[in-house]
Amino acid sequence: MSRLVDPHGGTLVDRFVPADEVEGLRHRAESLPQITLDAREQADLELIATGAASPLVGFLGAEDYRSVLERLRLADGTVWPLPFTLAVDDATRDALRGASEAALGDSNGRVWGVLRIEDVYTRDPLVESRAVYGTEDPAHPGVAYLLGRPRTLVGGTVRVLPLPELPFARYRLTPRELRREIAARGWQRVAGFQTRNPIHRAHEHLTKVALEVTDGLVLHPLVGETKGDDVPASARFQAYEALVAGYYPKDRTILAAFPAAMRYAGPREALFHALARKNYGITHLLVGRDHAGVGKYYGPFDAHAMFDRFTPAELGVTPIKLDAAFFCKACGSLASTRTCPHDAADRLELSGTRVREILRSGGDLPREFTRVEVAEVLRAHYAASAPAAAPSPVSVPVSVPVSVSEPIQPVASATAPPALFPVFLKLSGRRVVVVGAGPVAASKIKSVLDTGAQVTVIAPEVAPELERPDLTLVRRAFRPADLDGAWLVVAAAPPEVNREVRAAAEQRGVFVNAVDNPETCSAYAGGVLTRGGVTVAVSSNGEAPALAGLLREALETVLPEDLERWLVEARAQRKKWRAEGVPMKKRRPLLLQALNELYAETPQ
């Protein structure tokens, strides 16, 4: 048996209720005021209960919260970089007055445990954003999350009921379970690999470098909440299973699930990932380039530098600091900037967007970039998530049949509506507020969620179909301050409320889309068709959305099925034109010629 690394803080926390007390606590919880947890808070509660977040025994009180923001330590001096907090809206805060305990439940009404209320305090989301994420930019998914959550926080210790059946149950090893497995294998030096992405050859190379200098490797992918445009955990795990089965030594590799939610907090989150893995029995964590980053908010090696702020004794876990790896065509092998003398032109590097383009168009990824098994898992995922293919294009004019008794005559308008300036909003990770929660709002919300936006719904009553973990629900009347930090608001409430929403949005410079009320809109949601990486939208200035929908359906019949192939060719031509300085007026004829050549090369 091996001597395992001590858990963070010296004791592996266990906040689960003993078996003989479960029914008693469950019964008591029925009489307590309830706090509804969102997806991140559920994940945090699981980490606390299992000991993965040791030394935490509950959600932070004000003293610990301020200390974590200012010093990356709990009030007692223990290193801890992320605030594990529990937010409540005003109605819940009022219901907690005078109470010493509260039930912790999810949006489906299931009780997860009980909180002993020890502190109630208020946070400033912008102060927390600057401290944790280094920015106030609401485009950052972590900032968007904070801006969409209530400001009142409740701190206190928790007692947790047995967890429900959760995804990846076979791999969802608790710290105690993973420690037992590590001990049974006799490992002393254990490498851990944190990822929220599929593992390509570069990642595989880095993990095997770590395996050369340790006794064993734990592939520990995160399965909690991530951004909408990240590959879902279900697809990622299929890829991990294929890799472990075919390319890793089974006696020196463990695949397990890490149930944390992603915060995209860069350096702070990298430190948290290391401390949490120590609780699982891992002694060394691979820390890569821009670990836990998003966009351009952090420097490529900020996470490496974070570990240098603390002594090895304080951390108790060793970072393996690695640069990004790639396949070098000149070297003929996988390498990094530390081992390869060649410049970027010799590197085989593909963006996530390019990977999607290749797989969706039926192409194959280079074997130097990814394993065939991983590519096929991703291909199946992208095929399942792509819009349904349209009917084959026809070379006849589009017609929409209508039945009328007299010919339709053009109608002259003395006051033609002003021309629109068409803009497509990138809402992924951004905050969108929907005011109203009826069936019409539900249809709008589905489209907004598909963009990867962080959606907050505000309404006194909420339709049952909106009770879902990827929405933030605020059950009360609209307030102008609800739009602070929002990029877009969808007004799907009665007209008088929509007018109030418009006024508040105008003051804050927020776009408004009002359902069935063009006068209130500053942004119209057109009929949208996306195919092959190209998006086409049709708008009637909000006057005739049904007509916009008909025109969109008509476009589906004429746009080519292989439009993605056109887009790939157009990108390649554009790069060439820029390099050659081709004038703008000559580019369209050249593109048409290039597209025609695509089909000339196709065997008949």
Whether the pLDDT of residue 331 is over 80: the answer is yes
* Structure confidence by residue, pLDDT tens digits, 70-98: 999 999 999 999 999 999 999 999 999 99
Residue 531 annotated to the active site: no
Over residues 427-436, the mean pLDDT reads: 82
* Dihedral of the alpha carbons of 564, 566, 572, 577, in degrees to the nearest 10: -140
Q: Tell me the one-letter amino acid at 272.
A: F
Token pair in block for residue 571: 């990108």
**What pLDDT sits at residue 453?**
79
- Domain containing residue 350: 175-258+264-383
DSSP secondary structure code for residue 509 in this structure: T
Helices (H) and strands (E) in the chain — how many of each?
Answer: 19, 22
Whether the pLDDT of residue 547 is over 60: the answer is yes
> Within this chain, do residues 36 and 83 fall inside the same structural domain, yes or no?
yes
Whether the pLDDT of residue 520 is over 70: the answer is no
* Structure confidence by residue, pLDDT tens digits, 273-323: 999 999 999 999 999 989 999 989 999 999 999 999 999 999 999 999 998
Over residues 490-513, the mean pLDDT reads: 82
Residue 571 annotated to the active site: no
**What pLDDT sits at residue 279?**
98
**What pLDDT sits at residue 604?**
41
Confidence of residue 412 (pLDDT cuts 50, 70, 90): very low
Give the domain-ending residue among 359, 383, 407: 383
Angle at 136 between CA 132 and CA 138, to 5 degrees: 110
* Structure confidence by residue, pLDDT tens digits, 261-273: 999 999 999 999 9
Helix or strand run (H / E) with residue 436: none
What Rg value do the Cα atoms of the chain yield, rounded?
27
pLDDT > 90 in the chain, percent: 52
Q: Which residues contact 388 (CB under 8 A, 6 or more apart)?
A: none
Q: Which residues in 290-331 belong to E strands, given as ranges?
A: 318-321, 325-328
The active-site residue out of 196, 201, 379, 431 is 196
How many angstroms separate the CA atoms of 224 and 235, rounded? 14
> Within this chain, do residues 101 and 129 fall inside the same structural domain, yes or no?
yes
**What pLDDT sits at residue 423?**
64
Domain-located, residue 493: no
Give the up-direction half-sphere exposure of residue 43: CA atoms within 13 A in the CB hemisphere. 17
Q: pTM for the full model?
A: 0.67
**What pLDDT sits at residue 382?**
80
Q: Tell me the one-letter amino acid at 488.
A: L
> Within this chain, do residues 28 and 152 fall inside the same structural domain, yes or no?
yes
Residue closest to 535 by CA, chosen among 451, 431, 434: 451
Give the domain-ending residue among 339, 354, 383: 383
Tokens 């089965």 belong to residue: 245
Domain-located, residue 451: no
Confidence of residue 241 (pLDDT cuts 50, 70, 90): very high
How many angstroms separate the CA atoms of 367 and 356, rounded? 16
The residue that leads in pLDDT, 155 or 365, is 155
* Dihedral of the alpha carbons of 258, 263, 268, 270, in degrees to the nearest 10: 40
**What pLDDT sits at residue 518?**
55
Confidence of residue 384 (pLDDT cuts 50, 70, 90): confident
Burial 292-328 (b: 16+ CB within 10 A, else e): bbbeebbeebbbbebbeeeeeeebbbbbbbbbebbbb
Q: Residue 115 maps to which CATH number?
A: 3.10.400.10
**What pLDDT sits at residue 215?**
97
The active-site residue out of 197, 468, 499, 587 is 197
Helices 372-385 and 233-247 cross at an angle (nearest 10°) of 160
Over residues 164-186, the mean pLDDT reads: 94
Lowest-confidence region among 19-33, 128-142, 577-591: 577-591
Over residues 113-129, the mean pLDDT reads: 97
Give the domain-ending residue among 383, 400, 427: 383
> Within this chain, do residues 319 and 179 fall inside the same structural domain, yes or no?
yes
